Structure 1
Amino acid sequence: MASLLRQIVAGPRARHPEAGLDLCYVTDNIIATSGPSGTYPQLAYRNPLSQLVKFLDDKHGSDWAIWEFRAEGTGYPDSEVYGRVKHYPWPDHHPPPFALIPLIMGSMRNWLKGTDAEGKEGKEGKRVVVVHCKAGKGRSGTVSCSYLISEEGWSVEDALKRFTERRMRPGFGAGVSIPSQLRWVGYVDRWTKHGKRYIERPVEVVEVHVWGLRDGVKVAVEGFVDEGRTIKNFHTFSKEERDLVRGDIKKSNGFADVVTEAMKGKQAGNGTKENSDEPSISEKVMTAAQNSNDPDRLIGSKGGDVVFRPSEPLVIPTSDLNIDFERRNKASYGFTMVTSVAHVWFNTYFEGNGPENGGNPDDSGVFEIEWDAMDGIKGSSRKGTRAFDKMAVVWKTPRGRQSSIVINEPSVDEEVKQTQPADWRGDAAPSTGMDKDLGLRAATPSSASVSRASSVRSHKGETNDGHGPDDEREGVKPYGAEGENEIKAPDSVLPLSKDLPGPTHEVAKGDDPST
């Protein structure tokens, strides 16, 4: 019965024919496995830890070590694997804090090359790294592909293809399928090609532009804390921070040109309009997008076009930024119905062209994405009903904040720091945002407020042409289809219109929700 349960849980992932365990050899030196367990009830449907250790001992003697990434806890104490385990945990279904990548890559390289401080008796080429998360797919695949790219010289395409071929059963989709994790693999490729230099800086969210926003949508800004083990909600936008953009402009030169104008910061005088009849900058941005000649555009199909502006400076401590959307509709008996959930991660060092600028990223920029390219529920492609059509985040590096932190990959023979593990039993696991799903929820004051009123309705007496103090946009560089401040769209993002640059990339199908 236990063996049958393990086969059902493993589902689309390939099992090792000799070991009979849910694991695979990505290469001769990298093993990916689902998270083992030595306690019930997980022991009934996960890899038994004792069997995994026995297999590794028989095949590799003392030349194996584990790298684990489970913010929810490993499910076993370190002593059960001879203390031969490195901890770099972060939440399931999400990309890693990029600051962890140099540490993970350096520590894996040092172990495999036999140059680490522990066990120098290991022979180069004989050692193996065992990577695992929960299912040994999303997080483990991101790290495995990152190592092949950064340390073995593989291309992004070949690394992703190899992991899928070795980890997944034929016809069951890609090994790494979550859009933000795919974006991170692309970041690793750029990091590798430009000297493996990463700059960690805080980021300020200036505005969030949303096209086609539906009713009852809650928009939140999140980031990593606690060394990446926890995702923190730094801000949820209120109705008072929301402007429904109306009006029209007589002539449109395309969406990108209008965003360039909008991002210039100050208008004439003290930030007010020279002509009161002239449409506001936000009105121009939104209307230009609606008037785009792109035949595939979805803008304006339903909902409204909205700009969210935080009432106070909204600063995230690291360059990793997550924008989270949840759509709720009012239900009876004190409940609301969650009808859609989606989010997207991006890193402003890479979106600011840091690698290409010799480690000196732009101080501001714009990140854009369409609804269909967002991350779905628990690593799947499901997002529920459409909450919006397109989104753009205007960000900048705040002035007067903490200085930048330079993070390079540790050198050979250098002792590599690891982060604190989560409680292996999972008893004290922090809230990580992994449990978001569709369905009924108990109504709270905040959710009720969102659900009862339209998310795109302006309050009585509100104006749509104010932009707050001048210094809100001071230092924000212009953005557009031309000019030195152009930002290349990440690989997994579709360009918002044919006026905007950037390659297209079809989001992988066949997502495994158990990653």
Structure 2
Amino acid sequence: MMTLSKLNPEHIIKSIYSSPFNQYKNDMGLVLDVSYITDNIIVCSYPVMKYPKMFYRNSLVDLVTYLDANHGRKNWKIYNLKTEMNDSDYTDNDFAMVLKSKRLTEKSQVIDALSSSFRSRKMLQDHCKVCGIKLLFQSTATEILKPAESVKSHLLRYGWLDHSPPPFLHLQKLIKDIRDNVFQGKVAVIHCKMGKGRSGTLVVAYLMTYLQLPRHEAQSLFLSTRFKSGISKGVTIVSQLRYLKYQEMFLRYEEQQRKLIIDSLSKMQFKILSIEFVNSIGQYSSELLNKANNTTISIKIQTHSKIKPTLIDLFSKQCSTNKGSLRSLTSKQITVPNIVVVCSDIRLSFGIRSKTSQFINNVSHLSSFSSCWLNLYWESVLQSRNLDLDSNYILPKNERFEFSVSWEELDGFKGTSGKGLKLFDAVSIRWTLV
């Protein structure tokens, strides 16, 4: 029987919004999207601190309250895999405020009323009253200028771009940190935006590495514990699945060999030689593009920035259709001049874009976006299968390697299969180890 507290609109909206997920039923009256993959691995959607998103997303206060009550303050750690930020996202100061809190006094209410966050705090306080939770804030604004040291032991922000796989070395560091905390008896609470693609990639890789589950079994476990039957297919983005296959390859080596691979990956450099297309810009696509005005076709090779959570262009080639320059992108092979990749993770990106209203009116015919993440090291190892397993992780210098992918195997817009106007049948990229 549903209690009166659960009949409030916020609980109803949250229940509907999180209905695709397998939620752990708690006895605290909290409506939380929390799924136990194992006893010590939890996946949830992104918790927030402000309305209106708190009407349908996890409340950070609710989540921390639940974790404290069910596991103990010292026995959990949150892994935030989301790098894109908006007004509803919680900051380290917000997190510190929830962790290290004091009851508001009349004096502190006056001080807080002068701050820009007073209204959101007041709404948060009202929300907690409805849910029967005592919300405690720090007494002065100056106390939360610097996040408490306890934040570091309870929160790790180590995410990557949405709809993408993590850099391979990035993934290994995350897996190890989770392992270290789980071995100490802690619970790892993992979230991205929805607790699906990025969270699923990390969890499946962890299950493969430390529970020694085969890749398909690890994927099935995540799917069955996170989602209700028939609702989702779990991790579906092609590039994320490709990186799980890299993890599978990595685990075939002995532990000492893995350490050597990790050490080598941080030092390796690759030189991109060329990109080659099969049937690029076919006749149908060419006719449409030649009729379009102010549209631009672009080809990019990108990698992760080490400074901030964004991409940097290693190579970019563009042509505007209204200049009659399509021929520059319809040649079979494009030579890439002197591009050295310091890290082994790259993204190939292909698209058509325009800012004109004509493009928007014809978006169903002319829009196109596709991309593909790959790790140059592991793709090189795949081509060295003829070597002995004990030594094929050591790549020969000056040997040329190649990766080919069909149009159908590329990632589409926001990780979907939808890519729009077909630009080619297949693409290959060639490189060598420097």
Residue number in structure 1 paired with 2:71: 60
User: Following superposition of structure 1 onto structure 2, how do residues 357-368 of structure 1 map, counting pairs within 5 Å?
Assistant: 357=391, 359-363=393-397, 364-368=400-404
Amino acid at match of 2:167: P
| Paired residue total | 328
Q: How far, CA to CA, are the matches of 1:218 and 1:91 in structure 2? A: 20
TM-superposed CA distance for 1:318, in Å, is 1.0
Alpha-carbon shift at residue 14 of structure 1 (Å): 2.9
Tell me if the contact between 1:90 and 1:228 (Cα under 8 Å) persists in the aligned partners: no
1:334-413 aligned within 5 A:
337=363, 339-353=367-381, 356=389, 357=391, 359-363=393-397, 364-398=400-434
* Inter-CA distance 44–325: structure 2 relative to 1 (3 Å threshold): same
User: Which amino acid letter does the alignment assign opposite residue 222 of structure 1?
Assistant: Q
Secondary structure, in 3 states, of the residue corresponding to 1:393? strand
CA distance in 1: counterparts of 2:164 and 2:248, whole angstroms: 18
8 Å CA contact 1:204, 1:396 repeated in 2: yes
Matched, 1:206 2:273: yes
Does the 8 A contact of 1:148 with 1:159 survive in 2? yes
Cα offset for 1:29?
A: 1.0
CA distance change for structure 1 residues 333 and 235 in 2, over 3 Å: closer, same or farther?
same
Partner residue, 1:159? 218
Distance change in 2, residues 1:7/1:232 (3 Å): farther
Q: Structure 1: any 5+ residue segments left out of the alignment?
A: 115-123, 246-302, 399-515
Letter in 2 for 1:388: F
Name the CA distance, whole Å, in 1 between partners of 2:221 and 2:157: 25
Displacement after TM superposition at 1:181 (Å) = 0.5
- In structure 2, runs of 5+ residues without a counterpart are 1-8, 100-149, 290-296
| Cα distance in structure 1, aligned partners of 2:355 and 2:192 | 37
- Residue 3 (structure 1) aligned with residue 11 (structure 2): yes
1:227, CA displacement in angstroms?
A: 5.6
- Mapping for residues 110-149 of structure 1, pairs under 5 Å: 110-114=180-184, 124=185, 127-149=186-208
Partner Cα separation in structure 1 for residue 163 and residue 237 of structure 2: 7
Structure 1 residue 26, shift from structure 2 partner: 0.6
Change (3 A) 1:51 1:211: same
Pairing 1:81-92 to 2, within 5 Å after superposition? 81=99, 82-83=150-151, 84-92=154-162
Q: Larger RCO: Structure 1 or Structure 2 (Cα < 8 Å, ≥ 6 residues apart)? A: 1
Counterpart AA for 2:405: I
1:368 counterpart SS class: strand
Q: After superposition, what is the alpha-carbon deviation per residue over 1:373-410, rounded to whole angstroms, capped at 9, x for unaligned?
A: 11111122221222221111111223xxxxxxxxxxxx
Q: Cα distance 1:367–1:30, how it changes in 2: closer, same or farther (>3 A)?
A: same
Give me the whole-angstrom Cα distance separating, in 2, the residues matched to 1:330 and 1:94: 25
Could you tell me which of 319, 322, 333 is aligned with 1:307? 333
1:321 is aligned with what amino acid? I
User: Aligned in 2, Cα 1:228/1:205: closer, same or farther, shift over 3 Å?
Assistant: farther
8 Å CA contact 1:202–1:318 kept in 2: the answer is yes
Does the Cα contact within 8 Å between 2:11 and 2:31 map onto a contact in 1? no
Calculate the TM-score normalised by the size of structure 2.
0.69
Paired residue type of 1:326: G
Shift in alpha-carbon separation, 1:206–1:35, aligned structure 2, 3 A? same
- Alpha-carbon offset, residue 207 of structure 1: 0.8
Deviations 1:196-235 (A, max 9, x none): 3321323322111111222454211110012672212222
Three-state SS of the structure 1 residue aligned to 2:368 is strand
Once residues 387 and 222 of structure 1 are traced to their aligned partners in structure 2, the CA distance between those partners, rounded to angstroms, is: 19
Residue 293 of structure 2 is aligned to residue 234 of structure 1 = no
In terms of fraction of residues, the more helix-rich structure is 2
Give the residue type in structure 1 aligned to 2:313: N
Residue 359 (structure 1) shift = 3.5
How far apart, in 1, do the equivalents of 2:196 and 2:24 lie?
15
Aligned-partner residue type, residue 305 of structure 2: V
- Alignment-mate amino acid for residue 69 of structure 1: L
Instruction: Identify the range of structure 1 (84-93 vs 328-337) with the bigger mean alpha-carbon deviation.
Output: 328-337
Name the counterpart of 1:480. Answer: none
Q: Name the CA distance, whole Å, in 1 between partners of 2:396 and 2:237.
A: 27
Which of 161, 168, 172 is the matching residue for 1:98? 168
How far, CA to CA, are the matches of 2:14 and 2:279 in structure 1? 44
- TM-aligned CA distance change 1:370 to 1:235, over 3 Å: same
CA distance in 2 between counterparts of 1:342 and 1:174 reads: 21
**CA distance in structure 1 between the partners assigned to 2:227 and 2:44 by the alignment:** 12
Give the corresponding residue for 1:430. Answer: none
2:319 maps to 1:222: no
TM superposition shift of 1:104: 1.0
- Give the secondary-structure state (helix, strand or coil) at the position aligned to 1:35: coil
Answer whether contact 2:14 2:31 (CA < 8 A) is retained: no
Range with bigger deviation, 354-363 or 74-83: 354-363
User: Do 2:302 and 2:347's aligned partners in 1 also have CA atoms closer than 8 Å?
Assistant: yes
CA contact (8 A) 1:97 1:228 kept: no
* Structure 1 SS opposite 2:401: strand
User: C-alpha displacement at 1:103, in angstroms?
Assistant: 1.2
- In the alignment, which of 197, 203, 209 is matched to residue 150 of structure 1? 209
Alignment RMSD, CA only? 2.8
CA drift of 1:334 comes to 8.5
TM-score, normalising length: structure 1: 0.59
Matched with 1:291 is none
Distance 1:228 1:104, change over 3 A: farther
Distance in 2 between residues matched to 1:319 and 1:228, nearest whole Å: 18
AA at the equivalent of 1:324: S
* Structure 1 residue 328: Cα displacement: 4.5
Residue 109 (structure 1) aligns with = 179
Deviation at 1:24, TM superposition (A): 0.4
Give me the whole-angstrom Cα distance separating, in 1, the residues matched to 2:355 and 2:59: 45
Give 2:188's aligned amino acid: V
In the alignment, structure 1 residue 38 sits paired with structure 2 residue 49? yes
The 1:128–1:321 alpha-carbon spacing in structure 2 relative to 1, beyond 3 Å, is: same
1:176 aligns with 2:235: yes
Residue 332 to residue 56, structure 1, CA distance change in 2 (3 Å): closer
